[in-house]
């Protein structure tokens, strides 16, 4: 499992709708802000890159010291972003694909408003389990 | 006398027109979503769903009787079996079971293991009091009222609220005798 990993989902209107620290490293006070900052900075790169390819998985789009940002863009332009320090591309790809499936299930829930925060605890548990499995 | 009629709805189910399950589920979801937006109060939504179900039920019973070819049920027990085995199969494609009869046979539970209405659904914190499938209880109430049985239908178990099955309690309040609105000599 990766030492540091921060996973967020950004809705199409650039609002983060889900966040999770899924790394195994001990939590540092300022780490969460730093991770958010790096991911936020990577959004611009994603915007440019998303239209240059038909693939959903954009691989690593940005880096900061030893941290890498990998991104997966869904058809509805929701971005699944992962900040990590591991080099396991296949695992990350599978992780994104499975989270995408989970996200679709959330989206199909008639009581969920697209673009609003994902509060489902079931989703949270599943994402963390996937992170343990693949990252 | 044993009633003539099917013991299960399989044959009828395979012969009537059907609609894609996801389309059905999402359409129902959209209705509930809209009701929540319009009425704001979860209690009101429950009431409205029940009323909509009632309106469906009083029409659906005719369709049911016409297509299924069942004859008059001798008692309430048989009625409940008929709803669970034939009715649910015909219109929802699932089979329910009947249990928990009380001593005088006027109150029972219809248990659904599988419910196509709730695929994908997860109740958010803001609608905890919602009976998502309340339309079903209305349908049963409406349909039975048209065949002169006043009933009260309530949800006792709901998977969306953390139970392991869907359970509808159907309680027979009274059997209304058929009466004619006119007198013979008029």
The pLDDT assigned to A33 comes to 83
Asked if residue B160 is part of any domain, the answer here is yes
Alpha carbon distances (Å) from B145 to B31, B56, B128, B138, B169: 25, 12, 30, 10, 16
The pLDDT assigned to B1 comes to 41
Q: Could you tell me if A61 and A69 are in contact, meaning their C-beta atoms sit under 8 angstroms apart? A: yes
Cα–Cα dist B154/B157, whole Å: 9
CA distance A134 to chain B (A): 25
Q: B-side interface with A, Cβ within 8 Å?
A: 26, 28-30, 32-33, 36, 119-125, 127
Residue B2 burial (CB < 10 Å; 0-12/13-18/19+)? exposed
Range of the domain at B71: 42-118+129-175
pLDDT band at B2 (very low <50, low <70, confident <90, very high): very low
A90 has pLDDT over 80 = yes
**For residues B41-75, b (16+ Cβ closer than 10 Å) or e, as one string?**
ebeebbebbbebbbebbbebbeebeeebebeebee
B99 has pLDDT over 80 = yes
Q: In terms of Cα–Cα distance, which of B86, B81, B85 is closest to B63?
A: B86
Residue B80 is part of a domain; what is its CATH number? 3.30.1380.20
pLDDT band at B28 (very low <50, low <70, confident <90, very high): very high
**Based on the structure, what is the number of domains in chain B?**
1
What percentage of chain A has pLDDT greater than the value 90?
24
B161 has pLDDT over 70 = yes
- Sorted by where each begins, the domain ranges of chain A are 5-134
CA distance A74 to chain B (A): 19
CB contact under 8 A, A110 and B33: yes
To test the contact with chain A by mutation, choose from B122, B125, B126 the residue with the greatest count of A C-beta atoms within 10 A, namely B122
Q: Which residue of A has its CA nearest to B30?
A: A110
Q: Could you tell me if B149 and B172 are in contact, meaning their C-beta atoms sit under 8 angstroms apart? A: yes
Fold of A5-134: Beta-Lactamase (3.30.450)
Length of chain A: 135
To test the contact with chain A by mutation, choose from B36, B120, B121, B131 the residue with the greatest count of A C-beta atoms within 10 A, namely B120
């Amino acid at each position: 499992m990766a030492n540091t990993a921060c996973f967020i989902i950004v809705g199409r209107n650039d609002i983060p709708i889900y966040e999770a620290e899924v790394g195994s490293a001990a939590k540092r006070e300022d780490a969460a802000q730093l991770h958010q900052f790096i991911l936020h900075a990577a959004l611009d790169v994603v915007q440019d890159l998303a239209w240059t390819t038909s693939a959903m998985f954009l691989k690593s789009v940005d880096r900061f010291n030893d941290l890498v940002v990998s991104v997966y863009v869904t058809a509805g332009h929701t971005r699944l972003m992962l900040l990590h320090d591991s080099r396991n591309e296949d695992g990350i790809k599978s992780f994104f694909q499975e989270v995408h499936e989970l996200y679709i299930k959330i989206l199909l829930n008639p009581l969920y408003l697209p673009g609003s925060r994902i509060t489902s605890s079931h989703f949270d548990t599943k994402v963390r389990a996937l992170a343990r499995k693949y990252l | 006398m044993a009633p003539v009629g099917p013991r299960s709805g399989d044959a009828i189910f395979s012969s009537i027109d059907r609609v894609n399950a996801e389309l059905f589920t999402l359409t129902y979801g959209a209705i509930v979503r809209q009701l929540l937006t319009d009425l704001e109060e979860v209690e009101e939504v429950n009431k409205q769903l029940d009323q909509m179900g009632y309106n469906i039920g009083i029409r659906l019973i005719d369709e049911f009787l016409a297509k299924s070819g069942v004859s008059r049920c001798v008692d309430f027990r048989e009625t409940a079996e008929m709803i669970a085995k034939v009715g649910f199969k015909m219109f929802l494609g699932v089979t329910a079971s009947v249990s928990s009869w009380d001593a005088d046979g006027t109150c029972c539970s219809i248990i659904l293991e599988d419910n196509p209405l709730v695929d994908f659904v997860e109740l958010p914190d803001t609608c905890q009091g919602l009976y998502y499938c309340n339309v079903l209880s209305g349908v049963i109430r409406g349909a039975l009222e048209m065949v002169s049985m006043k009933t009260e239908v309530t949800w006792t178990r709901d998977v969306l609220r953390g139970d392991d099955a869907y359970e509808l309690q159907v309680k027979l309040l009274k059997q209304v005798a058929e009466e004619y609105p006119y007198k013979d000599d008029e």
